[in-house]
Amino acid sequence: MKRMVFAAALAAFCLANPLKAQEAALPDTGRQANWSIAIHGGAGTIVRDRLTEERRVQYEQALQIALDAGSEVLSQGGSAVEAVKAAVVLLEDNPLFNAGRGSVYTWDATIEMDASIMDGRDRSAGAVASVDTIRNPILLADEVRTQSEHVFLAGDGAEQFAQARGIETAPADYFETEGRRESLERLKAEKTSSIEVDYKFGTVGAVALDQNGDLAAATSTGGMTGKRWGRVGDSPVIGAGTYADNRSCAVSATGWGEYFIRVGVAHEICTRIRLQRYGAGNDTVTSVSVDQAQAIADDVMAEVKNLGGDGGTILVTSNGDALYSFNTAGMYRGRANSDGMNEVAIFGGERQADESNTPDH
């Protein structure tokens, strides 16, 4: 794939090894990475002939900046939770992505944002849904996790909690973008049924392993273009769009949320990896290889596809292996670790030269 290494101004980058997302696994060195992180900016019908060179560069730069932010936290000894928040906040602030400032419109031309976060140390979690004034929903989700006895707050209640906790808000016009409005208008002009919406997956997320061996996952989204009736997808649902457990992995998902909820994608991946590690009991721990973890993620995503759903996942295992799995044409994605890996990609079919013998998924 195209690998980007930013200079001090984050303006220069160079081309390096290609990477195929579905096969993106760290080399199986037999030792745990000191720290590791993976991010995504959504999955969907992302193909080369629909993305201009200028737009591609913008996405790659945005991904690299977020990846660098999370990597900096981890390299300085910060926690996995702080790393995923740092990465997701920058993605929420960038109107390229369907989260925070770039959130899509509902059928009624309003904004309804969802987010969730989970700490693999104690499986504490926080989530919010259908908020419309919160500048960075991921920060509110973490406030729910740490400063309330609850896991999931929605709508006006979540907004009231945010006000009580001093979470930064923004006016409606902060979230409005012309491109998102045009998407809604096009959807209404071309579709005859409110069910037939334009499924574009721009959800953002991050997963990380820190130097203490702790895992965390975070996901944020503006939802689905043209959604109605207070629809909520998988992003704020712990176990569907987000999950982290130090015994196995951390997962953030993006895609057609209804199917990810039905499969319980994030929890399913983590549970299968945990069972692979511990077997029937907790007295013997078996190492889960890169190939085994990748196969588990691919199998779960195949289940989503078999039901009719599209999308993708990122995950980091307790060994520090950073992986992707998606069943769409592309996924905005990136990964880095303490061994020097630092790369971003967009399209399906991109792969590392040293992984050229890996079969397609």
Is pLDDT larger for residue 151 or for residue 280? 151
**DSSP string of 212-280?**
TS-EEEEEEE---TT--TT---STTSBTTTEEEETTTEEEEEEE-HHHHHHHTHHHHHHHHHHHHHHTT
Cα 308 to Cα 301: distance, rounded to the nearest angstrom: 11
Is the confidence at residue 160, as pLDDT, over 50? yes
Strand order in the sheet with 311-317: 242-245, 249-255, 311-317, 322-326
| Averaged pLDDT, 153-178 | 95
Confidence of residue 63 (pLDDT cuts 50, 70, 90): very high
The H or E element that residue 330 is part of is strand 330-337
| Averaged pLDDT, 43-56 | 79
Is pLDDT larger for residue 24 or for residue 268? 268
Confidence of residue 7 (pLDDT cuts 50, 70, 90): very low
**How much is the pLDDT for 90?**
98
Token pair for residue 114? 């969802």
Strand order in the sheet with 215-221: 152-154, 124-131, 113-119, 215-221, 204-209, 36-44, 330-337, 342-347
| Averaged pLDDT, 106-114 | 92
Q: Please say whether the beta carbons of 154 and 249 come within 8 A.
A: no
**How much is the pLDDT for 23?**
34
Token pair for residue 306? 């078999």
Is pLDDT larger for residue 10 or for residue 51? 51
| pLDDT tens digits for range 182-211 | 877 777 787 643 334 444 557 999 999 999
For helices 155-165 and 137-147, give the axis angle rounded to 10 degrees. Answer: 80
| pLDDT tens digits for range 295-354 | 999 999 999 999 999 999 999 999 999 999 999 888 999 999 999 999 999 988 664 333
Is the confidence at residue 2, as pLDDT, over 90? no
**DSSP string of 97-128?**
SSSGGGPPP-TTS---EEEEEEETTTTEEEEE
Q: What angle is formed at CA 127 by the lines to CA 296 and CA 74, rounded to 5 degrees?
A: 65
Confidence of residue 128 (pLDDT cuts 50, 70, 90): very high
Q: Of 29, 110, 146, 203, which one is the catalytic site residue?
A: 203
Cα 313 to Cα 251: distance, rounded to the nearest angstrom: 7
Hey, what amino acid is at 41?
A: G
Cα 330 to Cα 55: distance, rounded to the nearest angstrom: 15
**How much is the pLDDT for 88?**
98
The 8-class DSSP code of residue 196 comes to: S
**How much is the pLDDT for 52?**
85
**Selection from 19, 23, 18 nearest residue 312 by Cα:** 23
Q: Which domains does the chain have, with CATH numbers?
A: 24-124+178-355 (3.60.20.30)
HEC letters along 265-318: HHHHHHHHHHHHHHCCCCCCCCCCCHHHHHHHHHHHHHHHHHHCCCEEEEEEEC
Q: Please say whether the beta carbons of 194 and 226 come within 8 A.
A: yes
Q: Please say whether the beta carbons of 180 and 104 come within 8 A.
A: yes
In the annotation, is 284 catalytic? no
